[in-house]
Amino acid sequence: METVLDDTTDGVEGQEIPGRWVVLGMIAFAVLVTGSMYVYWNLHTAPFRPLQEALAAEYKGSHPLVQGGQVKMHKGTPRILRIVLRVEFDPNDEGEQKTVDKMVDRIIQLAGEYHDLTQYDTVEIHLAWIRPEKKTLEREITRDVSENQQGQGS
């Protein structure tokens, strides 16, 4: 039998890799990537997990997310503690202003119990009312940490 070489082989016959090894390699790669993502996410969220759990206990169904730090690429940017909570009311409604103020004060109080707020310049609280099949209504409340340390705020 005669071997026919076409222009895709550049005149060289290659060795084939058995399909079994290709599949095993793909599975190993998937396990490695998934494991790496799991480890990264755990290391990234671990410092904030106790505060997240406290917020979840305080506000049932709020699905809190807490992140902190600063943008690494831009030195000198503010250090932010960002807290995102789901709420069951319109956070922009003026009739809910007392509820929002009380909630923000409690969130900052809990944040102070679980973190040294002096490590941050700003505390950002995002309240989101997720309505089925409608636009999500959001409100961002920003508090300067120095204001919070003096017992003031907006």
Could you list the pLDDT tens digit for every one of the 154 residues in the chain? Answer: 666 655 565 656 667 888 899 999 999 999 999 999 999 988 888 899 999 999 999 999 999 999 988 777 677 788 899 999 999 999 999 999 999 999 999 999 999 999 889 889 999 999 999 999 999 999 999 999 865 554 444 4
Angle, in degrees to the nearest 10, between helices 49-58 and 97-114: 140
**For residue 61, which phi and psi values (nearest 5 degrees)?**
75, 10
Query: Per CATH, the architecture of 48-149 is what?
Result: 2-Layer Sandwich (3.30)
pTM above 0.85, yes or no: no
- Structure tokens, 63: 């699905």
Q: Can you give the pLDDT at residue 6?
A: 57
Strands (E), 24-148: 65-69, 80-86, 122-129, 137-144
